[in-house]
Amino acid sequence: MTKITTKAASYSRRDAMRLLAAGGVLGLTAPHLLGKPAFAQTPPSAPTGRVIVGLSQEPTVFHPLMAKIEVDDGVHFSIFDALFRITPEGVIVPNLATEVPSLENGGISEDGLNWRVRLRDDVKWHDGTPFTAEDVKFTLELIVNPDFRAWRTTGHSQVRDLTVVSPTEITWRMEEPFAPYMSFLTETFIVPKHVLEGEADPNATAFAQAPIGTGAFKWGQRVPGDHLELVANPDYFGEGPYIEQLVFKYIPDLTVFYSQFESGDVDLTGQVYITPDRYQDALKLPDRTITMVPKSSFESFYLNLGRPQFQDLAVRQALFAAIDRKAIIESLYYNVPTPTETFMPRQSYYYNPNLPVQEYNLERAAQILDEAGWLPGADGVRAKDGVRLAFTNSTTSGDPLREQVQQFLQQTFGSIGIEMAIENLPSAVMWGDFWQQSQFDSVIVGSTWVIGADPDVTNRLHSGSSNAKGGRGSNNAQYANAEVDALLEEGARTYDPEARREIYFRVQELVRNDLPYLPLFQNVSIVGQKSGIAGFVSNANTRTESWNAAAWYWQA
């Protein structure tokens, strides 16, 4: 047993339950905290072998604090450590820290403003220098350095008075109580002060091309456009690593991506995983294990409430009733994803299971529109007060499954006098101003709203988060509900999981009634791996399949 697991296990049952609640996502695939396999198998005593992870996008950002995308995460989780980590069960456990601060253990003050984090004293950077609280201070300060092209700054921008009490203890004060910060810290990787402090330009460092971390793997070499090779760090303080090399292989074409898994060039399929249309085929491959892994992201028919035709709740209800979700999931998505009524992942502690279940009923949909006064005009399209019930729907072009959903819905809507035009855009265009400034009528989008396992969705649902209305955030539906606003503000200030649970249950209920978006299903990724790889556990609370590659090994 390693130190990490001992630490995690030393929590009392009550502690564990509380942390579980704080984290949120309950056991998904494995009962073990840190990715230990459920069967009796022993990893090798020294790192051996190599695992090649296939990725359909290329990781290019290696400074873990700089603006990055999902695919870069696998590299960061392998090279670096954060203060805490989140398990597949949604429990936040110590990583570089020795305990998770809470109101109970005094790590967080009663008012939620003062934080104290105690750190391990046995951690070394890959170059041999000891890790200390100075590195944590440097990291949190670098993120808010105005010249630094940091990734996200939410939470970090509220940190004040960072104080290094001792090499193993750091304290700070928050400008406001902000419960989600703990989840943010599970994705905030600590960088070495002694390597970075002398750099004149924080955005152009040698470190960004060959990073130095504390993690289970050290930087090996990179062949741009092809692959990235990490090597085992034998001095890692935690469990593992058991493989000598961890390789991230970039394969842009989806057909070729699958072919290379089939041919054995790739040992494990990372993002974008195996597409649903190949699921049945993949099950037949010899010596491969195919796992369905629920993701935190959900697919929705997302509406722009700034458009007059969508301002009427009756229209949104009618559209929702006109969507045959069962047919979409079964016929178009090969029955892989699960239907949902909310943005909250089904596995979350905060998932509200009591929401009304959508029913597909075309006659009911037409009736709702009739009653609300949306009557068919001369051209067959319904209209009310001069507003035609016509709109465009957009999504990233080149996604054949979503395109089929669009055509399917276009037909159904058309049959009850709703005109939907399809106008798809390349992703670089789609998710720019078009999306962020609410220039769309409606889109089909798959997105994750929660950060780690924290239920806070202020960024998505608070009325102050609509850019098109002068706000700041990602409430691109321009949804506004005063009660939701108040609940979200309260939720972010509240540290008690049970109290928060009530708050977010109510939020989901209100949003389900208001229908600013029409929930379709929760996404599932299909991960394929060679059966010889042991120790692989997926974690829906992170964005990467490689969150714990340290635990992987080849069965003898």
Partner 1 sequence: MRSFLINRLSQSLVLLVIVSIIGFGVLNLIPGGPLAQYGLDPGMTQDDMARLTEQLGLNRPIWVQYFEWAGGLLQGDWGHSFRDGAPVLNVIGRHIVATLLLMGSSTAVAIAIGTWIGIRGATHRYSVFDYTATIGAMVALSIPTFWFGLIGIYVFSLRLSWFPAGNMYTIGDGSVLDVLHHLVMPSIVLALVHIAIWSRYMRSATLEAINQDFVKTARAKGLSERRVLIKHVVGNALLPMITLAGMQLPSVLTGALVTETVFTWPGMGRLFLDSLGYSDYPVVMGLLMFSAILVILGNLIADFIIAIVDPRIRLA
Q: Is the peptide bond before 241 cis (omega within 30 degrees of 0)?
A: yes
Q: CB-wise, 160 or 472, nearer to partner 1?
A: 472
What is the C-alpha separation between 62 and 409, in angstroms, rounded? 41
| Residue 38 CB, nearest approach to partner 1 (Å) | 30
Q: Which one among 35, 58, 213, 352 touches partner 1, defined by CB under 8 A? A: 58
Among the listed residues 46, 200, 428, 482, the single contact to partner 1 using CB under 8 A: 428
- By C-beta, is 72 or 81 nearer to partner 1? 72
Q: Which stretch binds partner 1 (CB under 8 A): 60-68, 123-131, 382-390, 503-511?
A: 60-68
CB of 431 to partner 1, least distance (A): 3
Does residue 273 interact with partner 1 by CB under 8 A? no
Q: Is 305 in the site for partner 1 (CB under 8 A)?
A: no
Among 38, 223, 499, 556, indicate the residue that binds partner 1 (CB under 8 A). Answer: 223
Please report how close the Cβ of residue 180 comes to partner 1 at its closest, in angstroms: 9
The yes or no reply on residue 449 touching partner 1 (CB under 8 A) is yes
Q: From the list 308, 353, 426, 498, which residue makes contact with partner 1 (rule: CB under 8 A)?
A: 426
SS3 at position 190: coil
E-strand spans in 460-516? none
Stretch that binds partner 1, among 85-93, 399-407, 431-439, 522-530 (CB under 8 A): 431-439
Q: How far is CA 376 from the centre of its chain?
A: 42
Q: Among residue numbers 377 through 406, which ones bind partner 1 (CB under 8 A)? A: none
Contact assessment for residue 314 and residue 368, using Cβ atoms and an 8 Å cutoff: yes
Cβ burial of 417 (10 Å; 0-12, 13-18, 19+) is: buried
The whole-angstrom separation of Cα 49 and Cα 271 is 22
CA atoms within 13 A on the CB side of 446: 15
Nearer to partner 1, 317 or 539 (CB): 539
Question: Which residue lies nearer to partner 1 by CB, 120 or 460?
Answer: 460
Confirm or reject binding of residue 306 to partner 1 (CB under 8 A): no
In angstroms, rounded to a whole number, what is the distance separating the alpha carbons of residues 84 and 9? Answer: 15
In this structure, are strands 50-55 and 245-250 parallel, antiparallel, or unpaired? parallel
Nearest to 539 by CA among 76, 182, 8, 27: 27
- Residue with smaller CB distance to partner 1, 235 or 262: 262
Among 154, 289, 338, 463, binds partner 1 (CB under 8 A): 154
Asked whether position 255 contacts partner 1 by CB under 8 A, the answer is: yes
Say how far apart CA 52 and CA 35 lie, in whole Å: 18
245 binds partner 1 (CB under 8 A): yes
Place of tokens 């340290």: 550
| Closest listed residue to residue 24, CA positions, set 511, 549, 519, 456 | 456
Q: What sign does the CA torsion over 40, 44, 45, 47 have?
A: negative
69 binds partner 1 (CB under 8 A): yes
- Roughly what angle, to the nearest 10 degrees, separates helices 362-372 and 313-321? 170
- The helix/strand/coil state of 505 is helix
CB of 347 to partner 1, least distance (A): 16
Residue matched to tokens 């990233």: 396
Q: How far is the CB of 320 from partner 1 (least distance, A)?
A: 23
Binding status of residue 227 toward partner 1 by CB under 8 A:
yes
Asked whether the beta carbons of 436 and 302 are under 8 A apart, the reply is: no
Nearest residue (CB) to partner 1, 407 versus 437: 437
Using DSSP's 3-state secondary structure scheme, residue 6 falls into helix
User: Measured from the CB of residue 101, what is the shortest distance to partner 1 in angstroms?
Assistant: 21
Instruction: Determine which residue in the list 15, 134, 169, 229 makes contact with partner 1, applying CB under 8 A.
Output: 229
- Total residues contacting partner 1 by CB under 8 A comes to 69
Cβ neighbours of residue 65 closer than 8 Å, sequence gap 6 or more: 139, 142, 143, 148, 150, 151, 188, 189, 191
Tokens coding 300: 């929705």
Query: Residue 77 or residue 131: which is nearer to partner 1 going by CB?
Result: 77
Choices 23-31, 141-149, 368-376, 484-492 (CB under 8 A): range interacting with partner 1: 141-149
491: left (phi over 0), alpha (psi -120 to 50) or beta: alpha
Residues 6+ apart with CB under 8 A from 142: 65, 148, 150, 191, 196, 202
> Is 221 an interacting residue with respect to partner 1 (CB under 8 A)?
no
Question: What x-and-dash track marks residues 175-214 binding partner 1 by CB under 8 A?
Answer: ---------x------------------xx---xx-----
Which of 101, 120, 93 lies closest to 171, judged by CA? 101
48, 60, 102, 171: which one binds partner 1 (CB under 8 A): 60
Stretch that binds partner 1, among 65-73, 286-294, 324-332, 531-539 (CB under 8 A): 65-73
Tell me if residue 198 falls in helix, strand or coil. coil
| Residue span binding partner 1 (CB under 8 A) among the ranges 80-88, 122-130, 144-152, 235-243 | 144-152
Tell me which H or E stretch contains 161. Answer: strand 159-166
Q: Distance (Å, rounded) from C-alpha 461 to C-alpha 454?
A: 15
Residues between 461 and 520 with contacts to partner 1, criterion CB under 8 A: 465, 467, 471-474
The residues binding partner 1 (CB under 8 A) are 50, 52, 58, 60-63, 66-67, 69, 146-154, 184, 203-204, 208-209, 223-227, 229, 245, 247, 249-253, 255-256, 259-260, 262-263, 265, 426-436, 445, 447-451, 459-460, 465, 467, 471-474
